[in-house]
Every structure is written in structure tokens, then in C-alpha cells.
Structure 1
């Protein structure tokens, strides 16, 4: 509620809640679920150019819609028409909501819409443009600069990203609110019997594999992980293979060649995109979760693995130390030798694994989607002062 005790009118964009539900989509969905339960808000959902009263769930049936969009994107003329007209259509669709707060959970804000809030998940398109498809970088940079100028308030997932925003754009400190991400109740320690069906589906054994989940793209630094894993003794890596789950991103031809090599040698298994309901079972059944990413605005998989009672190895880059809080084993992103040593420790030292599990579970308790919603509403209240 605002300072007068009135409920806050909020229009929440759900464009990023689509199949496959990757990190930002999951953030938007979990946050929206929390926000719609809060009595101090009157929440309206905005998808494309349509206003909805209820939250749509991303489903696999949406694949056909995404394939149509991909075909459109391949046509330069259609893509250009879409780029020029779509923002105007969104602005027109929002013209009856001038007394509402508009929140985009995925960077983009349409033009000439007042009282806007946007979530900035990272600044990789500026700091690491090579981690994005070249054709998209200039447009993304332009749109993000527009967002900074249009937003009444910005939200980040981490203090690391807040500092980046302030340093890079000169944004005032009190214009940026930090709302750390959370994890849902499905990510928890499980008994072997609970995971059996999922393990059988993928022909995996309880606590007998290392796990990586995330989009297959350069920023995730999977090449370093493959080098480290391949340097383990043959018996070790075959006994505890590396399991990789993730949506096929971009610029990954070389990685998939190495995936095939690892699979043929019996130490790697690529599962493709794993349905959301199965992912928590894989986390809790893994011997260890490995996440060597070069750049993260938060690093949600690290939190979900800790909440699942699984030891974590991750890089010490960007926001990951802030999320891990001392629970994971860490390495510099390009340090193959240290990563290899950490992998060996997780094979050989059961006591260290138990210690890390306890630390991870304790650390995970400090994060929740409810707290994320609380911090988000604080940002809304700042904007409401000027409505």
C-alpha cells in the first residue's frame, strides 16, 4: 500500500514467461505468483499487447508459437516491421493504465509509459558483448539505455549488479533497489526413492554423477568444465560422469563436438532441456553441482543446488560469491587446475561434502521468493509517491 493506505495498482509484464522457462522466465513467474497473493497490490498482467487478470503458465504447448516467432525473425523485412511497430502497440495497449505502476521483469520498457519499474539482471551486453549474438548486441544496448532513462525505479538481483548499474550509467543509489532471487519448495533434499523415476528415465545413478544446468552458451564457460573433467583419471570420470542439462543457446558447435567425444568415451551425458518438474530431482540426486560461469547477475542454479542439499563448485566471478556466501568451493573462471582439484575432492572426501551440504542449506535459508517480493514492493512504493 502507498503512504495513504491505498492498494497499489501494478501492471506486471509476463512476456518472458514462455517455454522453455529459463532463468529470467522463472524469476518472473515465481515473483508474479508471490505478488498476486499480496493484499496491498491490485495486480494486472500484460502479455504482448494483451491485458490479463490471471497469470498464464508457460507450457510445452507454447513451442509452436515460439517456432512461428523464430521463422518471422529469419525474415529481415518482417523482423524490422515487428521491431518498429511492436513498442508502439504496447504503449497504446497501456494507455488506460496511466495511474498504474508498470513493471517489466526483463529489462525492456516501452516508450512513453509513466511510473515504470524494470529489473536489470546483468550488464553483460555492455561488459561482455562477445557473449551475445553479434547481430543483437547493438539493439540490446540501445534498448537498455532507453530503459535506464525511462524507468522511475530499477531493480537488480544482486548488490553486484546494482554497483555495475551505478558505475556504468551514473544512476543514483536510491533509484536502484536490490531484490535477491529465491527458490521454490521443490528444491529440497530428497531421499533416493523420491528421485528414482527421474534417474531411471535418464539412466543415472543416485549420487553417482556431477551436474551442470544452464543454457549452452559461451558465458557459461562450459569449455573450462569439460577440460577439467576430461583431465580426471579415466576410472573416476566414468564412475561419476558429467551430466549436462540445458537449452541449446548459441555459438555452441565446438561444445557439442566435445559433448559427443565425452559421450563416446563414457564420461559425459547431455540431457538437453529438462522439464522444470524433473530438475529438482536431478539437483538432489547429484554428487555435486558444478557452475563455472564467467558472468552472472545472480546465479540462480547455485542457490537451487544449495537448497537441494547438494555440494556446489562454482567460479568466484561477479555475483556468485554474494550468492554462495562461503558455502561452495570456488575457482577463477579460467583456472582448470583448481577446478580439477575441486572435482577430485568431491569424489574422494565424504566429510568435506557433508560440511559443504550443511553450509549450503544454511546459506539457502537466507533467500526466498517471498523476500524477493517484499523488496520488489518496496521499489513500487518509491514510485507510488509520485503518482
Structure 2
């Protein structure tokens, strides 16, 4: 099968949708090597992000001529990609980041799949600019309704796509995300290297994710001030946004500035080691499409505390703990429990590792392939 992908995130984004897109391709190339995978991106972006993907003979990257790229990557993606995939005799096109090229809507001879990650911009509009909300709703909704099949990364998002966008239930399938197998294979030297290079504290709880209001790092700072264990620090790894100043101001008022460590632009080299050194992982986000950092932490053998209100229970499973995202007392109490109760801690680690076996690359490649094959049956 010839399968094409919108690869803008693969070539340009180091986190979030970029990680998801690269994970999908890595899983497919390993477990479905018989297919041909064509990546279409408006630029070469950052080659270090996807260099290993191109080592597979089944993978080809296509970018526009400089003149076309100069005219506008969006125009090329929406109107040139449809022509190019037909010329390449592509069987199926997968939009990995919420949308399809306009020229592929209801296209003949090319099956279409789109992954919708979340509808946070509808559920929590206060975190998005009005123009962004309008564009996302139009683009994502139109793509979901036009695609032959929609993939969602959680049951929460599946319900939203059906209920908000009005897509038929039979056209929406949940295929969970996963993470690099490196997080399940962390070596002591990786932990030591990360600790030394980033000057990490000896003992810390960990947060990983963009440091923005929706992800609610303030709650973790407030809980930090209430912990019984005053030797525990909080390490937060993620993209810096204006919200960082609110976090710093709150830490200063609570007297925990010396125990708060904000790390930005941390490369993939050190991330597994950072997880490996943590005593507990906290993720009090108000809303997520899935929650990959939780999967990374569970693979690393770190107890997880998430938040109620979206789909984090799907990512963390029944033995992780969950806090009200507005209750710092509750979060502090849960962190204290994990630190003090050794048997609970052991249970969370062991059961967590068992739970995340459902998010392995092999299983995800199988589930994706089943969706692709189902779509292709309609074109025979």
C-alpha cells in the first residue's frame, strides 16, 4: 500500500504533534515495512528530528521547490499535495494533525484518514484566541466530516468528535498514542548524566509539558508548599509561555522558589534520564487529548498523579492517582501518600508498567493498519 502523510509536524515540531507523528511513522516502518510511506512537508524543517525515519527505504520525503515554498507553505499543502499524491498513485492519505488538505476533501481514488487530537479549543475557549478558535473549528470540523475515517487518540476525544462535529460513530475509531521505547529502558548512567548536565536536585517530583495555563502547573507549585516532605523539589520541563511569570510569582509568595526548577528547550537526549530520577510524576492538566507524558512516566517506572476532568484516566490507568485540578490540598495529600506508603508506590509502579503495554508501537501499528484496510475496502 502507498500511504501519504502531511509531514509538517514531523519535520518542524520537536514536541506534541511532532512526537505523535514521528511515533506513528516509526511504528509503521518497523511493523508494516511492506508499505511505502510518502511524507509531504512544506519545508525540510529540522532534519535532526526525522533523520532516522529516512534511513528506511520505504520512507520518502517530498518538499516543494523553493519558489513554491516562498509563495506559501499553506497553499502548497492544500492544493499541490492532492495533485502530487494522485500522481504518485497513493492509496491513502493520513492527516496526522487534525486536518486534511482542502483538495482531498471527498477526493476520488484516494482514501482519507485524519487524526483529531482534542477539541480543547471548544471545551476551554478561554485559553485560545478568538481567531484561532474560529479557524480550528472550521478546519478540523470540515476535515473530520470529509474524511473516510477519523482516528482519535482517546475515547474522550472520540465522544467529542461524534457529539460536537456530528461525525457518524462508525467512522470514528480510537487508536491510542504511545511513546519511545527508550523510556522503558532507562539506564542509571542516563539518570546521572541528566542530573549533572541540568543540575537537577537530588530528590524531585516531575512535570513535563508546555508551561501554559491549561496545564495547570500552578497547582503543583501550591501543593509543593504544603508537602510534609520539605526536601522534595519540583522540576518542570516544557516550552516557556507568558504563564511562566505567574508560576514564578506564586512560588515566590509561597516561599518555594528555591525548590522550583523550570527547564526549557531540553533535548530528547536528557529527557529519559530526567524521568528516571523522579520520585513521582504530577500532571494536573485541566484538559488533554490524551497525555503522552503520563505514558512516558509509567514506562519509566515513576508513580503518576494526574487530574480528573478529561481523559487522563485513560492514559494513567486504574492504579494511578487523580486529583481535582482546583484542589491543591488534595494534590499535596496524594503526593505525600506516594512518598510515604511504600506498598502503594510499588503497586503503582508495577501495575503502571503492565497497563502501558497496551500502548506499544506494535499494537498501535496493528490498530492503524486495521483502519487503513477498512478504508481501502470502500475503494475496491
**TM-score, with structure 2 as normaliser:** 0.85
Alignment equivalent of 2:294, drawn from 285, 298, 302 = 302
Counterparts of 1:206-285 in structure 2, within 5 Å, are 206=202, 208-233=203-228, 236-237=229-230, 239-249=231-241, 251-258=243-250, 265-285=257-277
Residue 10 of structure 2: SS of its match in structure 1?
coil
State the match for 1:145 in structure 2: 141
Would you say 1:44 and 2:38 are equivalent positions? Answer: yes
Q: RMSD between aligned alpha carbons?
A: 2.8
Would you say 1:32 and 2:25 are equivalent positions? Answer: yes
Alpha-carbon distance, 1:346 to partner: 2.9
Alignment equivalent of 1:87, drawn from 74, 78, 84 = 78
- Can you give the 5+ residue segments of structure 2 that lack an aligned partner in the other structure? 52-69
Return the alpha-carbon distance in structure 2 between the equivalents of residues 98 and 30 of structure 1.
25
Return the alpha-carbon distance in structure 2 between the equivalents of residues 16 and 260 of structure 1.
37
**Contact persistence 2:82–2:103 (CA under 8 A):** yes
State the match for 2:101 in structure 1: 110
Would you say 1:364 and 2:356 are equivalent positions? Answer: yes
Return the alpha-carbon distance in structure 1 between the equivalents of residues 357 and 29 of structure 2.
23
Higher relative contact order structure (alpha carbons within 8 Å, sequence separation ≥ 6): 1
Return the alpha-carbon distance in structure 2 between the equivalents of residues 293 and 251 of structure 1.
14
State the match for 1:73 in structure 2: none
Alpha-carbon distance, 1:192 to partner: 3.8
Alignment equivalent of 1:170, drawn from 166, 173, 180 = 166
Q: Which is further off, 81-90 or 245-254?
A: 81-90
Alignment equivalent of 1:17, drawn from 10, 30, 33 = 10
- Summarize the Cα distance change of 1:99–1:91 in structure 2 as closer, same or farther, 3 Å threshold: closer
Would you say 1:346 and 2:342 are equivalent positions? Answer: no
Residue 359 of structure 2: SS of its match in structure 1?
coil
Alpha-carbon distance, 1:205 to partner: 4.4
Q: Which is further off, 181-190 or 376-385?
A: 181-190
State the match for 2:64 in structure 1: none
Alpha-carbon distance, 1:260 to partner: 6.5
Alpha-carbon distance, 1:59 to partner: 7.3
Return the alpha-carbon distance in structure 2 between the equivalents of residues 203 and 15 of structure 1.
34
**Contact persistence 1:13–1:47 (CA under 8 A):** yes
Return the alpha-carbon distance in structure 2 between the equivalents of residues 147 and 124 of structure 1.
17
**TM-score, with structure 1 as normaliser:** 0.83
- Summarize the Cα distance change of 1:250–1:123 in structure 2 as closer, same or farther, 3 Å threshold: farther
Task: Render the CA deviation track for 1:49-95: whole Å, top value 9, x for unaligned.
Answer: 79xxxx954279xxxxxxxxxxxxxxxxxx99766675234444444
- Can you give the 5+ residue segments of structure 1 that lack an aligned partner in the other structure? 1-7, 61-78
Return the alpha-carbon distance in structure 1 between the equivalents of residues 72 and 193 of structure 2.
47
Return the alpha-carbon distance in structure 2 between the equivalents of residues 86 and 180 of structure 1.
26
Alpha-carbon distance, 1:264 to partner: 7.2
Residue 230 of structure 1: SS of its match in structure 2?
helix
**Contact persistence 1:177–1:375 (CA under 8 A):** no
